[in-house]
Amino acid sequence: MDPIIVASKLTKTYASGFQALKGVDLTIRRGEIFALLGPNGAGKTTLIGVICGIVNATSGTVLADGHDIVRDYRAARTKIGLVPQELSTDMFETVWNAVTFSRGLFGKPKDPAHVEKVLRDLSLWEKRDSKIMTLSGGMKRRLLIAKALSHEPRILFLDEPTAGVDVELRRDMWKMVRELRERGVTVILTTHYIEEAEEMADRIGVINKGEIILVEEKAALMQKLGQKQLTLILQRPLASIPEALSEYALELSDDKSRLVFSFQSEAERARIAGLLRALAELGIDFKDLQTRESSLEEIFVSLVRSDA
């Protein structure tokens, strides 16, 4: 793996005494879309604030494309763009000036063609001479992205990019994030929407109470933890699970009216036919059957709960 961000043993204790990060180790791969998923207050904004050099860590180190974010601040900072969770920008400024100024902050030479491209990509070109305060909420959010892209960063952080935005804008954002990745930009987004992580990410890290509790390829995470279940609703309650079915790891519901077969792999799924035949031979009839897959949502809830 070719790491682009390496965070080691990061801790953050705020002046209030609250410990928001408790020894975070995290490596981001070059070119991936990484979703940092966690409930409100988990430490997502603090963590990306530290990596972006906005929040001082209490201890630990971060390398951004090989540059230490403290000792080699300038070099690290030019690699990184941050789309903050909250809009904080000069409302009286025009769109064009805000983006141009942002680029200047990173010491990059003026490049009107790049600014134009960014504004066009984000459907803000028509609004280039408008004052920010006249923009709609969705446009203001796109402006934050335009500012973050003004200096051509190789790593883009999006802090809750779609919190409170409408469905259409959310789709646009997802599309834009994928396009950025195609151009070789590494994208790290934080979200408390499981759907977003599931839809967007190559890998998912779950953070809770200042600790990373899991990092996995999305597909592996879904497979490893995503249990599938077949539930048979019986015609007549069963006193107990017959001995002849012991090879199937079945569970009988408390009211004895349902048999539940849990499986994870395709090989286990293939045993369903045999199970149904065995039930028929035993004269156990069912009136209905249901299948379900646990979603990332349930996985997430169970992880966060078991961690509590």
Ligand X SMILES: Nc1ncnc2c1ncn2[C@@H]1O[C@H](COP(=O)(O)OP(=O)(O)O)[C@@H](O)[C@H]1O
Footprint of ligand X (CB under 6 A): 14, 16, 18, 20, 38, 40-46
Partner in contact with 18, chosen from ligand X, Mg ion, none, beta carbon below 5 to 8 Å by kind = ligand X
> Cβ closer to ligand X: 186 or 190?
190
Q: How many residues bind Mg ion (CB under 5 A)?
A: 2
Partner in contact with 43, chosen from Mg ion, ligand X, none, beta carbon below 5 to 8 Å by kind = ligand X
Work out how close the CB of 104 gets to ligand X at its nearest, in angstroms, rounded to a whole number: 28
Task: Find the binder of Mg ion among 4, 45, 47, 67 (CB under 5 A).
Answer: 45
162 near Mg ion, rule: CB under 5 A = no
What Rg, from alpha-carbon coordinates, does the chain have? 25
Chain position whose Cβ is nearest to Mg ion: 45
> Cβ closer to ligand X: 55 or 238?
55
Partner in contact with 88, chosen from ligand X, Mg ion, none, beta carbon below 5 to 8 Å by kind = none
> Cβ closer to Mg ion: 100 or 191?
191
Q: In what order do the strands lie in the sheet with 19-29?
A: 19-29, 3-13, 59-64, 67-68
> Cβ closer to ligand X: 172 or 196?
196
> Cβ closer to ligand X: 81 or 210?
210
From first CA to last CA, the distance across the chain in angstroms is 32
Partner in contact with 42, chosen from ligand X, Mg ion, none, beta carbon below 5 to 8 Å by kind = ligand X
Work out how close the CB of 307 gets to ligand X at its nearest, in angstroms, rounded to a whole number: 14
Partner in contact with 205, chosen from Mg ion, ligand X, none, beta carbon below 5 to 8 Å by kind = none
Partner in contact with 38, chosen from Mg ion, ligand X, none, beta carbon below 5 to 8 Å by kind = ligand X
> Cβ closer to Mg ion: 44 or 79?
44
> Cβ closer to ligand X: 19 or 294?
19
- Residues in touch with Mg ion (CB under 5 A): 44-45
